[in-house]
Amino acid sequence: MCQVAQRIMDSPTASTVWMILGWNQSWVSEFILLGFSREPMTNSILFIAFLLIYLSTLLGNGLIIMLVCLDTQLHTPMYFFLCTLSLFDMSYVTTTMPQMLVHLLSQSQTISFAGCWLQMYVFGALGITECTFFVVMAYDRYVAICYPLHYTVILNWGLCIRLAAGSWICGFSSSLLNTFFTMSLPYCGPNRVNHYLCEGPSVRSLACMDTHLLEMVDLVLSIILVIIPISLIVASYIHIAKAILKIKSTQGRCKAFSTCASHLTVVTLFYLPATYIYMKPNSKYSPEQDKQISLFYTAFTPLLNPMVYSLRNKDIKRAFLKVMIYGRWTSGPRW
């Protein structure tokens, strides 16, 4: 039956009609996430490692959110955006890590069709949101360095809220389209996903029909949602570099550069692996390699973000030391 269905669905006309109508008559009711290994000992070691990563991510990002919210000297646009990024990272890692930890210790590694759909949607939405938000953070650095005297006037509270909300709206609306097309494909077996999460390319490779049209749609979306943000970030830093070069004092240049170095590091860690995964055709899909690469933006980037920002940021370290040593918050002008 599956072979007959596959021959019918592989025809270009049927594939196009199926995609346009979004007609989902899948025979698969659940998926099996193969994860990293079938060896219990290896899975136990991975469980401990990923549990430490998950807890450290929650602790690091949660600490930044707490410091920014409670220390009034950090009530500036830059730290508002940093606090929002930490919230993204905590949500991002929670979408995948708890389920991964459960599957590492359990015999059953299944996920329902609806659960896979939901995970793919939320994971994709948060990823797109973060892509968009990095542009907002680049704009923040652009205004701070190129227009320092008008920084708080341009980036007022209302604009900051709108920029953050716009990133959320862009991410969750864009992910809906891509997830709808992917989960509307017919899945008549096999149902074994060679991944530790329901990610678009890994699930789409199991569809029993030609996915060429969807690959083209996915490529267009990737160009819009990845290339355009990267281009805007690069354009912002070109203007920033020109402004820094005009600063006469070496100390002033170093200070201006240090405020951008953390953001550039985080952007690089996030964009490079994500671009590789989502901008290549299914014909070059390599499950084992893709699983390892995707760990950079699903686990390591959310873990490293608070470290990158806190280690290079004197204000964050000052606020943390105030709490640890004196047990009190500094007072200052509210943003």
Comparison of pLDDT for 296 and 235, the residue scoring more? 235
Residue carrying structure tokens 């240090």: 258
Predicted pLDDT at 29: 83
Distance CA 186, CA 209 (A): 7
Angle of CA points 252, 253, 257, to nearest 5°: 120
Distance CA 205, CA 76 (A): 45
Predicted pLDDT at 23: 45
How many other C-beta atoms lie within 10 A of the C-beta of residue 145?
23
pLDDT tens column, 286-318: 677 778 888 888 888 899 888 888 776 788 888
Q: Sort 230 into a burial class: Cβ within 10 Å, 0-12 / 13-18 / 19+.
A: middle
**3-state SS of the chain?**
CHHHHHHHHCCHHHHHHHHHHCCCCCCCCEEEECCCCCCHHHHHHHHHHHHHHHHHHHHHHHHHHHHHHHCHHHCCHHHHHHHHHHHHHHHHHHHHHHHHHHHHHCCCCEEEHHHHHHHHHHHHHHHHHHHHHHHHHHHHHHHHHHCHHHHHHHCCHHHHHHHHHHHHHHHHHHHHHHHHHHHCCCCCCCCEECCCCCCHHHHHCCCCCCCHHHHHHHHHHHHHHHHHHHHHHHHHHHHHHHHHHCCCCHHHHHHHHHHHHHHHHHHHHHHHHHHHHHCCCHHHCCHHHHHHHHHHHHHHHHHHHHHHHHHCCHHHHHHHHHHHHHCCCCCCCCC
In a domain, 138, yes or no: yes
In a domain, 303, yes or no: yes
Confidence of residue 135 (pLDDT cuts 50, 70, 90): very high
Confidence of residue 321 (pLDDT cuts 50, 70, 90): confident
- Give the chain's domain count: 1
Domain that holds residue 100: 40-326
In a domain, 203, yes or no: yes
In a domain, 93, yes or no: yes
Instruction: Look at the chain and count its residues.
Output: 335
Confidence of residue 166 (pLDDT cuts 50, 70, 90): very high
Predicted pLDDT at 327: 59
Predicted pLDDT at 20: 41
pLDDT tens column, 57-91: 999 999 999 989 888 888 899 899 999 999 999 99
In a domain, 8, yes or no: no
How many other C-beta atoms lie within 10 A of the C-beta of residue 81?
24
pTM value > 0.85: no
Confidence of residue 4 (pLDDT cuts 50, 70, 90): very low
Q: What's 99's domain CATH number? A: 1.20.1070.10
Per-residue pLDDT, averaged over 10-27, amounts to 47
- How far, in Å, are 3, 133, 136, 156, 295 from residue 166 at the CA level? 45, 9, 10, 15, 27
How many other C-beta atoms lie within 10 A of the C-beta of residue 201?
21
**211: closest CA among 2, 12, 3?**
12
In a domain, 29, yes or no: no
Confidence of residue 26 (pLDDT cuts 50, 70, 90): low
In a domain, 201, yes or no: yes
Q: Mean pLDDT of all residues in the chain?
A: 81
Predicted pLDDT at 281: 60
pLDDT above 70 covers a percentage of the chain that reads 86
Confidence of residue 245 (pLDDT cuts 50, 70, 90): confident
Is a pLDDT exceeding 50 seen at residue 16? no
Distance CA 82, CA 61 (A): 10
In a domain, 124, yes or no: yes
